[in-house]
Amino acid sequence: MEGSTANFTATLSNPSQYDVTLDVTTSDNTAQVGADYLAQTSVGYTIPIGSTTITIPITTIDNNVYEISETYNVLMSNVSIGSPTPENHNHY
């Protein structure tokens, strides 16, 4: 629904021992950036250690125009698993 937030979920099949980072970029399909939704360009998100999901919010714009359903693309890229740091590495 226009004028609200569309929430997308990024999901891992199993929890990671380290943070997992990814970038999100939106692009037009039938919806147009600025008229129907607010763009995200390489916005960084992190799935924290031990978690399997994060929510990616995309803000939609109510342009007060009756339209059929419109779509846009959400691309996840640069997915990376972190490495041990003093905070998440056990020392024996």
Calculate the alpha carbon distances from 32 to 19, 36, 41, 54, 71 in Å: 33, 5, 14, 25, 9
- pTM for this structure? 0.80
- Specify the pLDDT at position 63: 79
User: Can you list the domains of the chain with their CATH numbers?
Assistant: 5-81 (2.60.40.2030)
Q: What is the pLDDT of residues 1-19, one digit of tens each?
A: 678 899 999 999 999 999 9
Asked if residue 85 has pLDDT above 80, the reply is no
Residue 24 in tokens? 């999100």
- Cα 29 to Cα 7: distance, rounded to the nearest angstrom: 18
Of the candidates 75, 23, 27, the one whose C-alpha atom is nearest the C-alpha of residue 45 is: 23
